[in-house]
Structure 1
Amino acid sequence: MNDYFKLTDTVYDITEKYPEAKELLISHGFEQLKNDLMRKTMGKTISLETALKSRKINPELFGQKLAERIEQGRYAAGTGLSEMKKESGAEIRVEGVLPCPIRIPLLERLEGWLKENSELAARTDYDLKAASMGLDTAKERVLAAGGDAGKLSDLYLSAGFDLFFDRQLMGRYREAGVFEDISGLARLNPDFENERINLKDPLGQYTIIGVVPCVFMVNTAVLGDRPFPSGWEDLLSPEFENSISLPVRDLDMFNALTLHIRRFYGKDGVEKLGRNLLSGMHPAQMVKSGRQQQAPAVSITPYFFTQMLDAQSPLVPVWPKEGAIISPIFLLTKGSAREKVKPFVDFLFSKGVGELMALNGKFPSTNPLVDNGLRPDQHFLWLGWDYIHENDIGALIRETEHDFFAAAGREQL
């Protein structure tokens, strides 16, 4: 599975060798590992796989997440990126998570830019994690702010909806007019501002620098005599019951996917998708699953992972006819910090960063100077700002998750 550990290794051996494992296990409910004596005694008697199964945690998905965290830590140590984290009580604070496929090249570019702007770097603290590590820390800080906008970071960067729109989190500050789009762009890339879609926030609060498109892959070796699906509505058919894989642990993508299904196909559509769930595989596992006997007939995945297919794979990528569902990469800046953070916003909206996203990560950019390399038929499905502003997205996410997992007949993950 990876070059660091095996799922059959003991919890003690893995946590002894990799501190990241201890942290990740504790975050998944293994509180007893905080007691080092218990970790050394009980941990020697149980394998990682058995421990995870005891809490109904998918061992392979957890293993992938842990391997990514170890990899990132080693890369950071070798390059001096130090996980791209600096805590010194500086004047400016930048915070967020970055999509894993482009995190390292983007951090390298950011590190170079900070070196060129050393005075600004000295005045700035930052905490930029991989998306796989989640937003828990950022959420804790927002909750701890207790309604005081002065305690928030000056700039946030992340894909997904829950942190930025949940009224228990950023939503309360949005309604108070704390945030402002300071990109200065009159128009976005035509891929995202046309007769079908407009990602420019009409209230001038939120900025979207790019998107993570969600498409699907059809396994022709498993499909059988079922009609070849060409769009989202096809995947809600009873013919695909217990046949679809989607990344339920990639919360940004999962929430974006289920929110869009609810927006366009209603609660009934969410329940149909839940009934059709076969597994909650990581996208990289989906690509490898093509020749497995129990493989899903359809795997819903970020577009990036379709680029991993080889010519012999039975998996056929499909850009849905209704459009690829998108998880926007939001840039959220405090209006009161406009002058301080404008250089960072300009950097993130630069043509170079936009091209890195579009070309290296297959995450199309909203920068109007970037050619995203999309075909005319590769358009997008978008919730719409009216829908976002008229609903409590955080509450809607929780309700939609409940409906999905209830229909799937399993506990929420």
Structure 2
Amino acid sequence: MQTMRIDPDATLYEITENWPETVPVFTRQGFPQMAEEDLRRSFGSRISLRQALALKNLDLDGFVEQLEATIEPEATVAVGVAPTRVVGLLPCPVRIPLLEAFEPFIEDYQRSTGCKVEYELQAASMGAAWIDENLKHVSREEDLPELFISAGFETFFDPKGLGRFRDAFYDGLPYKTFNSSFDGVDLRDPEGRYSVISVVPAVFMVNMNELGDQPVPQSWEDLLDPRFEQRVSLPVGDFDLFSAILIEIHRRYGEDAVRRLGRSLATSMHPSQMIKLGRKSSAPIVTIMPYFFTRMAKEGGPMKAVWPSDGAIISPIFLLARKSAATQVQPIIDFFASKEIAEILAHKGLFPSTRPDVDNRLDSGSTFGWPGWEFIRQQDVASLIERCQQLFDEGRES
């Protein structure tokens, strides 16, 4: 049986919150207030176990022995040790299967290590506003969660945001080479700070009815042609992917290209809505969307998926791990980098995995567009995104 670690200097409230089954032990030994939740919180949070037993002249070792005898082995969690915090946004299409795998893993992790984990893994649809709300008050490294997972650009590289803590992170991925799907793509952080476990690729869904006799657009450069003005639906509401598209178009083709992209905007709708519009005359010719949504198109229907010949622009899914918490957090990194999770991402979500032994099931020639780490390090990414948004709006309003 694993030795339990009840810290004598933990408060009564901490102990009973972690192990509610210990409440009767306290009430039997002269602490009746511990039976009522409000009193347990007000009284128990102000006094440690050591102090409480000294007031009652009770033997500390004997009392701890009674408490430990009451606790079920599988409920063992260290008290008096700060919990490991895991926070972030999971891709909507795979959030449920990821949580179904994560929750039993965390239960086993807590049971085997005695370390408590607090986690909040929301759907990616919560967006940048949720990230900002949860991280805007962070001013010190120790206030950061031990592990953060999400796609994103601005949040992670903004020198006024998480970017100012970049020296606090470490790349703990257990594999040293990336999946061959990413050959030629500068995706692994050469400075060893940011981990990339997967990517969200942006592809084209072409409405063949609306296209008519025109050539099918094959590249991002094709979409900048005047024939597509006000005929393209862009994922403006998907801040991570939209920012990735703006940055890469700017890097490749310059400021005027971002304006032309703005002029191409017909509408901004959820990809599933654009699929349903496929048969209507008001539908855009091209919808730019995450690769996942291409599977919603009906076979034989008017919507044709096109993987850009010059690479699907990607928004990486990052793990940001605090190196000061490497001992506690490494097993959790190993979980998110495992083959089980990689296959959920790649097969159920169509989010290609960086893990080398996973089949991403991509057609030959499916390449990616990513500005590269050297470019990112040289930029104030938040300012660049702001500038790109300004250029895009200029084009849209012209």
SS in 1 for 2:363: coil
SS in 2 for 1:144: coil
The equivalent residue for 1:129 is 122
The equivalent residue for 1:100 is 92
Contact 1:97 1:135 in 2 (8 A): no
The aligned runs of 1:304-319 (5 Å cut-off) are 304-319=292-307
Q: Match of 1:330, as an amino acid? A: F
Contact 2:204 2:305 in 1 (8 A): yes
Q: Are 2:332 and 1:349 aligned?
A: no
- Cα deviation, 1:177-225, whole Å, max 9, x if unaligned, reads 1111111322111112x2x213110111100000011000111111134
Contact 1:226 1:239 in 2 (8 A): no
The equivalent residue for 1:263 is 251
Aligned pair in 2 of structure 1 residues 386, 125: CA closer, same or farther (>3 Å)?
A: same
Residue of structure 1 aligned with 2:131, choices 128, 138, 160: 138
Percent sequence identity is 46
Return the alpha-carbon distance in structure 2 between the equivalents of residues 290 and 140 of structure 1: 37
Residue of structure 2 aligned with 1:245, choices 205, 222, 233: 233
Contact 2:311 2:369 in 1 (8 A): yes
Q: Match of 1:406, as an amino acid? A: E
SS in 2 for 1:258: helix
Q: Are 2:174 and 1:181 aligned?
A: no
- Cα deviation, 1:123-179, whole Å, max 9, x if unaligned, reads 111111000012334323433122x111111111001211101111111111xx111
Contact 2:110 2:117 in 1 (8 A): no
SS in 2 for 1:134: helix
Deviation at 1:117, TM superposition (A): 2.3
Q: Are 2:108 and 1:116 aligned?
A: yes
Aligned pair in 2 of structure 1 residues 121, 404: CA closer, same or farther (>3 Å)?
A: farther
Return the alpha-carbon distance in structure 2 between the equivalents of residues 186 and 222 of structure 1: 46
- Cα deviation, 1:276-331, whole Å, max 9, x if unaligned, reads 10000111111111011110011101111000111232111100100111110001
The aligned runs of 1:4-403 (5 Å cut-off) are 90-119=82-111, 123-146=116-139, 148-174=140-166, 177-192=167-182, 194=183, 196-403=184-391
Return the alpha-carbon distance in structure 2 between the equivalents of residues 121 and 227 of structure 1: 62
Deviation at 1:122, TM superposition (A): 5.5
Contact 1:163 1:169 in 2 (8 A): yes
Contact 1:211 1:365 in 2 (8 A): yes
Contact 1:103 1:130 in 2 (8 A): yes
SS in 1 for 2:168: coil
Query: Which deviates more from structure 2 when the two are superposed, residues 376-385 or residues 340-349?
Result: 376-385
Deviation at 1:90, TM superposition (A): 4.5
With the length of structure 1 as denominator, give the TM-score of the two structures: 0.74
Contact 2:128 2:239 in 1 (8 A): no
Where structure 2 has 5 or more consecutive residues not aligned to the other structure, the ranges are 1-79
CA RMSD of aligned residues (A): 1.6
Contact 1:97 1:129 in 2 (8 A): yes
Deviation at 1:336, TM superposition (A): 0.7
Contact 1:95 1:138 in 2 (8 A): no
Q: Match of 1:189, as an amino acid? A: N
Return the alpha-carbon distance in structure 2 between the equivalents of residues 183 and 303 of structure 1: 25
SS in 2 for 1:191: helix
Return the alpha-carbon distance in structure 2 between the equivalents of residues 181 and 108 of structure 1: 25
Q: Match of 2:270, as an amino acid? A: H
Q: Match of 1:164, as an amino acid? A: F
Query: Which deviates more from structure 2 when the two are superposed, residues 219-228 or residues 336-345?
Result: 219-228
Q: Match of 1:93, as an amino acid? A: R
Q: Match of 2:128, as an amino acid? A: L
Larger Cα-atom Rg? 2
Count, aligned residues: 318
With the length of structure 2 as denominator, give the TM-score of the two structures: 0.77
Aligned pair in 2 of structure 1 residues 249, 137: CA closer, same or farther (>3 Å)?
A: closer
Contact 2:247 2:385 in 1 (8 A): yes
Query: Which deviates more from structure 2 when the two are superposed, residues 293-302 or residues 182-191?
Result: 182-191
Deviation at 1:254, TM superposition (A): 0.9
